[in-house]
Each structure stands twice: as C-alpha cells, then as structure tokens.
C-alpha cells in the first residue's frame, strides 16, 4: 500500500473555502484563483468538497511571510 509522505496524525479542524476566505479577508474567488494557479494552501477533497486543514493553512502562511519588511517571502 502506497502512502503519502504527509499524513494527518490527529483530527484537526478543516476550513471550507468560504471560511478560509473570511479568515484571510479575501474574496472566495481569490481562494479559487489561487487553487487554479497553484498558489494557495494545499487542500483536501472530502465528499467532492474542498477543505483546508488548519495546519496546511498555517504552514502556507509561514511561507508567505516577508524575509524583511518590504521584501518578498524568504526562499528558504
């Protein structure tokens, strides 16, 4: 049985697209555009619906942080 290298070790809250958009204060269409462009946080499909694990959202946010004020995200 093949497994993904990233596993959920415990149950954690899952956010809908609408909840993530509200949390980030962006339109739902922005989240959808990010998914289409491969720019947003990783998602999980549950019953045909897209959900976002809070740990994936937090990891993605860390990667978006500027390396210094006024500079893009760190490349590390």
pLDDT tens digits for the chain (76 residues)? 444 445 656 788 999 999 999 999 999 999 999 999 999 999 999 999 999 999 999 999 999 988 888 887 765 4
Residue 23's nearest CA partner among 8, 41, 5 is: 41
Distance in angstroms (rounded) separating the CA atoms of residues 14 and 51: 6
Distance in angstroms (rounded) separating the CA atoms of residues 20 and 17: 5
Distance in angstroms (rounded) separating the CA atoms of residues 58 and 64: 10
Residue 2 lies in a domain: no
Q: Which range marks the domain in which residue 19 is found?
A: 14-64
Q: How many domains does the chain have?
A: 1
Residue 34 lies in a domain: yes
pTM, whole model, 2 decimals?
A: 0.77
Residue 54 lies in a domain: yes
Torsion of CA 19, 67, 72, 75, to 10 degrees: -90
Residue 40 lies in a domain: yes
Residue 30 lies in a domain: yes
């Amino acid at each position: 049985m093949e497994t993904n290298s990233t596993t959920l070790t415990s149950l954690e809250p899952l956010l809908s697209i609408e909840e993530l958009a509200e949390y980030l204060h962006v339109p739902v269409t922005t989240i959808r555009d990010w998914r289409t462009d491969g720019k947003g946080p990783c998602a999980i499909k549950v019953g045909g619906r897209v959900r976002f694990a809070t740990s994936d959202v937090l990891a993605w946010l860390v990667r978006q942080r500027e390396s210094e004020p006024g500079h893009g995200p760190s490349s590390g």
